[in-house]
Amino acid sequence: MLSRKQWIGRQWVGLPLALAAVTATAANWEVAPRVQAGYRYSDNYRLYLPGQEVEVSGAEADVGVTFRTIDPRTNFEITPRINATYFPDEKSEDSHDYYLTAGFSDVTPRRRINVPFLYQQEDVTRSELPEATSGGGLGEPDTGDSGKFVERNRRDFFRIAPSFAYDLSQRYRMELDAHYLRADFDNQLAGAQQDFSEYGAGVGFGYLTSPRSALMVRALASEYDTNRTTDAYGGELEWNTQYSANSRAYVRVGAQNTKPENGASDTNVIAGAGGQWATQRNRLFLDFIRSVGPVSAGTVVERHQLRLRIDHDVSQRFAVRAGARLQRDEQIEDGTYPKREYAIGELGFEWRWQRQWSLLGSYNYRWQEYQDEPSDRSASSFLISIVYEPKRAQ
């Protein structure tokens, strides 16, 4: 049986091979580096209870480079990125976090193949407290965070989710998808951070109500491995539409039966509704999801999640942004994980004084409450930084 490090190593080995294969056939490549450096302050970095706050201030840097193909049909993109912090008065909170995102897509008039990939190695202050605007795309719930902190820890996280869609005719469509994710922690901390994994698959059949809209029926199956194995089966009905290349919306509703090992089964509603719309100067993202999945506390929860993001270009050089996330987690059966409520709101701006250089500023406020604790928690944080993008287009 492979150790955790051996397993992760094999994933990394596979990526250069895929990259080499695409390089051999791709006509053009684009390389886009990005360097960000600035100052961060937080009055409660780990979102501890009142009286236990850890205040930090210091430097933060984020460096990444994107390699992508330029092709109208087949595309491959990969982005390695490093984030590092330095807090002179709280050096125990310093961290070096590593990220790798990649994706392959192949699109023809009748067929669509998509393979997104994500790898993260980061401190739990980031993995357990999601940002207002982080997470998956429209209709894709975040998974894994429990918000629990016992001691300093790190998480390795891997996710891959291939999908295939094929238009059987002008009116009928078939979809197949699968996903696998795994989280491993340096230290196993009962009730806070424990290894977990999830794999699942879905089969869908749809009717195209118009050239841009479809009504889909899907069958779903998953297995969650936390401190025990949990099987899940269900189905959903979804309507989606594509207004333009950058604007779309969906509504879905369904049910899932979840059966823990040596435990009672539970049936939960799964649902979602949202959209993303873009105009010349504005972009709006709104998504509400009700889902079931594992968290790092070693259990499976029902999660209600609302994400909102608004971007407005005041001018060609200056833009303002706002984002929010509201989240509630409840264990699907009686256990030790209390009901959790989590919220974060963020305001920010970007001033691009030159094509390659910009100034970013952001402020966020976090709040969290567990049902079994005497008080809620809150934290304020801001980051101001300079960004250099040498390959940025006008």
**Interval 139-189: pLDDT, tens:** 888 888 998 887 889 999 999 999 999 999 999 999 999 999 999 999 988
Q: CA dist 393 to 27, 75, 271, 388, 389, Å?
A: 20, 19, 39, 12, 9
Q: Is residue 394 part of a domain?
A: no
Summary mean pLDDT of the chain: 90
| Interval 176-226: pLDDT, tens | 999 999 999 999 888 788 999 999 999 999 999 998 999 999 999 999 999
| Interval 300-332: pLDDT, tens | 999 999 999 999 999 999 999 999 999 999 998
**What domain count does the chain have?**
1
3-state secondary structure of 391: coil
Which class for 303: exposed (0-12), middle (13-18), buried (19 or more C-beta within 10 A)?
A: buried
| Domain region containing 206 | 4-388
The rounded distance, in Å, linking the Cα atoms of 346 and 229 is 37
- Do the beta carbons of residue 299 and residue 331 sit within 8 Å? yes
> What pairs with residue 285 in β-bridges?
276, 309
| Strand residue runs (E) in 135-260 | 154-160, 163-167, 172-185, 196-210, 213-225, 229-244, 247-260
Q: Is residue 321 part of a domain?
A: yes
Ranking 123-132, 133-142, 211-220, 366-375 by mean pLDDT, the lowest is 133-142
Q: Is residue 393 part of a domain?
A: no
Residue 111 neighbours by CB under 8 Å, 6+ apart: 164, 165, 166, 167
* Residue 380 CB coordination number (10 Å): 12
Give the CATH number of the domain where residue 58 resides.
2.40.160
Q: Is residue 304 part of a domain?
A: yes
The rounded distance, in Å, linking the Cα atoms of 117 and 218 is 23
Q: Is residue 96 part of a domain?
A: yes
| Confidence grade of residue 347 (pLDDT, cut at 50, 70, 90) | very high
Nearest to 276 by CA among 268, 265, 266, 287: 287
pLDDT at 244 over 90: no
pLDDT of res. 26: 44
Q: Is residue 259 part of a domain?
A: yes
